[in-house]
Amino acid sequence: MATAHIAAEPGDFAPAVLMPGDPRRAQRIAESLIDDARLVTDVRGMLGFTGTVDGRPLSVMGSGMGQPSCTIYATELFSTFGVERIIRVGTAGGIAPQVAVGDVVLATGAHTDSSMNQARIPGVNFSAVADFHLARAAWEASCSGRADQEGAVHVGTIISRDHFYFTPDQQTERLAAHGVLAVEMEAAALYGVAAEFGKQALAVLTVSDHLLDHSGDMSAADRETRFAGALRLALAAAHS
């Protein structure tokens, strides 16, 4: 049965879904990684594909940018299409000084300035955390079979913000002082939806730029293509 935003049938999606923000990245991942990828939905251009990798089912689908968009797709995938785990494969801006452009961040927890998780349990500051099993699988994959061009892998907290361009004065510095590794725009909401449905989620992020030093930022083209290291870890988590 199709949902409001996904024109597919139950069974069209694999239990594990890789989820980039960009639907074109979803298509690129499907073409490069999935043997027999077939398009299963394209409502609003939000492409979703399903096939197999090494004989195991896998889907990949875009989330769009921001927590409301990601929440819509994650909710429909978990509630209607039998999806058990979503691994976000996104880009992020570095915040911590030890995080460099090209590195990968495994986001075990996501602070946020969004109100979306606040509404979940009135009076409670919801803790948006990744699934431990998925995070451990990705980390273990990072310790073996690493290609030369893959950047360092960092594990810890990130912030999922609503604004891309507006940053309150001194916020980046304060986040860095609290050990926050990077910024992106979806993980906290994804972790909230996974908790709501008793499912699993993880964000595996490629650092595309650094908020405190923009000299080495990736180009727009690189942001769409330089994610092989993150993809390897995300696939290990998806099939763990």
Ligand X SMILES: O=P(O)(O)O[C@H]1O[C@H](CO)[C@@H](O)[C@H]1O
Ligand Y SMILES: O=c1cc[nH]c(=O)[nH]1
The CB-of-85 to ligand Y minimum distance in angstroms stands at: 23
The verdict on 21 binding ligand X (CB under 6 A) reads yes
Among 12, 103, 131, 186, binds ligand X (CB under 6 A): 186
86-123 in b/e form (b: 16+ CB < 10 A) is bbbbbbbbbbbeebebbbbbbbbbbbbebebbeeeeee
**63 neighbors 19 (Cβ within 8 angstroms):** yes
Count of residues that interact with ligand Y, criterion CB under 6 A: 10
Given ligand X, ligand Y, none, residue 209, with its beta carbon under 5 to 8 Å by kind, binds ligand Y
Given ligand Y, ligand X, none, residue 21, with its beta carbon under 5 to 8 Å by kind, binds ligand X
The interface mask with ligand Y, positions 197-216, x = CB under 6 A, is: -----------xx-x-----
Q: How many angstroms separate the Cα of 8 from the Cα of each of 3, 31, 82, 97, 219? A: 8, 20, 12, 43, 34
Q: Is 54 a catalytic residue?
A: no
For residues 219, 223, 226, 228, the Cα torsion angle rounded to the nearest 10 degrees is: 170
The CB-of-163 to ligand Y minimum distance in angstroms stands at: 9
Distance in angstroms (rounded) separating the CA atoms of residues 103 and 7: 35
The interface mask with ligand Y, positions 76-95, x = CB under 6 A, is: ---------------xxx--
The verdict on 48 binding ligand X (CB under 6 A) reads no
Catalytic-role residue among 22, 103, 131, 209 = 209
Among 183, 190, 194, 204, binds ligand Y (CB under 6 A): 183
Distance in angstroms (rounded) separating the CA atoms of residues 140 and 99: 19
Given ligand Y, ligand X, none, residue 93, with its beta carbon under 5 to 8 Å by kind, binds ligand Y
φ, ψ dihedrals at 136, nearest 5°:
-65, -40
DSSP symbol at 44: G
Among 48, 60, 85, 90, binds ligand X (CB under 6 A): 90
Helix (H, G, I), strand (E, B) or coil at 206: strand
Given ligand X, ligand Y, none, residue 186, with its beta carbon under 5 to 8 Å by kind, binds ligand X
Q: Which residues bind ligand X (CB under 6 A)?
A: 20-22, 65, 90-91, 164, 184-186
Q: Which residues are catalytic?
A: 209
